[in-house]
Structure 1
Amino acid sequence: MRTAGLFLLLTGILANGQELHWENGYDQSLEFKCPAGQSISYIKMFPCITNKPSQHDDRMWEFGCKNTFDSGADCFLSPYVNDSDQTFTYECPPHHIIRGMSSYHSNKHEDCRWQFYCCRSSGQCTANCEWTTDVNCFDEFFHWTVPNQNYLVGAESYHENKHENRRWKYKYCSKVQC
């Protein structure tokens, strides 16, 4: 039943002229970085759903980008923020915004280790930050969009072995001159 629902959802998306463009395949690493001067504007995740509830696989991801930075943004890739099966909360340093995400999938744990690509433009700061509630349920497709006039700065996630999946929260802020 769940597979049929996902099929109908994807069929509806394709019928509306929106093309899906996944950044990775199942059991593959994810390496996504918005073009220079941009940051993540939306995140989509598609879980692998099988007919056997105990059989799980990795997830596929899609991202959108929006103009964010002036020329000459200072960027870096974080170290891994978690080990497999572990909870994490990661925030870019103050006044940095997330430009990309990277993960390495472990078949043994059916989970990923995560890194974040953070950038900052001189003279621009972040303010009025908020955390979302959970943006997804286990084993469900999700699409989360950064609210208008805001920018993604952090992520929090926990893994549950029963579902071999993660639930996600995101932190976003407005951008101000400083």
Structure 2
Amino acid sequence: MSLLSITSFLTLLTLASACDNDHDGFLKKECPPNDSIYEIQSLHDDHFEDRIWDWRCQPSGFEFESCSWSGDMNQFDEVLSFECNNGVVTGVESTNSDNYEDRIWNFKCCTKPNLCYSECGVSAPANEYDGPLSYLVDPGYFLTGADSVHSNHYEDRVWKFRTCKITAC
């Protein structure tokens, strides 16, 4: 077994016990109060042309004062480009369409006054089409957004994630 297939197998085992959705099913993950998403795992299945997801939360160190959902951030088969407006991602919601073999995404962002954002950036692609996705936010940074591009050929998305350092001002 190659290293990639061993990694995929171990990721599958982890996702099988902790996934936030079934193939073709509704996905909703909300972190507990004052937590934020710090790790994302996903596997694509060519039979379902869909992914199972595991969005993981950890304490943020901040007491958020306001949270809101973004609303739909993409259309089926279209580019997704999202960033919290001075906030961090604390939840995700997604609806699948078997007709389009794609998902529409909605993000929950939380914030509080007097937070300063610095050293913001966008990750390298976290996956290849049809490949496993594994992304861990760097220590000291917070997930602030996501970008993805859909391929009708692969019926999948390639993802990049936005992060920033956040400190009290």
**Would you call these one fold, judging by a TM-score over 0.5?**
yes
Query: Residue 77 of structure 1 is aligned with which of 69, 80, 103?
Result: 69
Tell me if structure 2 keeps the 8 A contact 1:150–1:172.
yes
Matched-pair identity in %: 27
Matched, 1:32 2:29: yes
Name the aligned partner's letter for residue 89 of structure 1. Answer: S
Counterpart position of 1:175: 166
Tell me if structure 2 keeps the 8 A contact 1:37–1:73.
no
Residue 18 of structure 2 aligns to a residue in which SS? coil
- 1:52-77 deviations in Å (ceiling 9; x for gaps): xxxx4211000111211533521000
Tell me if structure 1 keeps the 8 A contact 2:137–2:143.
yes
C-alpha separation between the residues in 1 aligned to 2:116 and 2:9?
Answer: 41
C-alpha separation between the residues in 1 aligned to 2:29 and 2:15?
Answer: 20
TM-score for the superposition, normalised by structure 1 = 0.85
Tell me if structure 1 keeps the 8 A contact 2:146–2:162.
yes
Over 3 Å counting, the alpha-carbon distance change for 1:18 and 1:142 in structure 2 is: closer
Name the aligned partner's letter for residue 62 of structure 1. Answer: D
Query: Residue 107 of structure 1 is aligned with which of 91, 98, 105?
Result: 98
C-alpha separation between the residues in 1 aligned to 2:101 and 2:54?
Answer: 19
Bigger radius of gyration? 1
Name the aligned partner's letter for residue 100 of structure 2. Answer: H
Taking the TM superposition and a 5 Å limit, the aligned residue runs for 1:1-178 are 6=5, 8-9=6-7, 11-12=9-10, 20-50=17-47, 56-68=48-60, 70-93=62-85, 95-178=86-169
Give the number of the structure whose residues are more often strand, by fraction.
Answer: 2
C-alpha separation between the residues in 1 aligned to 2:93 and 2:102?
Answer: 13
Tell me if structure 2 keeps the 8 A contact 1:100–1:116.
yes
Kindly tell me the number of residue pairs found equivalent between the two proteins.
Answer: 168
C-alpha separation between the residues in 1 aligned to 2:15 and 2:64?
Answer: 33
Over 3 Å counting, the alpha-carbon distance change for 1:138 and 1:79 in structure 2 is: same
TM-score for the superposition, normalised by structure 2 = 0.90
- 1:130-155 deviations in Å (ceiling 9; x for gaps): 11121110111111000110000011
5+ unaligned residues in a row in structure 2: which ranges? none
C-alpha separation between the residues in 2 aligned to 1:168 and 1:132?
Answer: 9
Tell me if structure 2 keeps the 8 A contact 1:69–1:120.
no
C-alpha separation between the residues in 1 aligned to 2:38 and 2:167?
Answer: 18
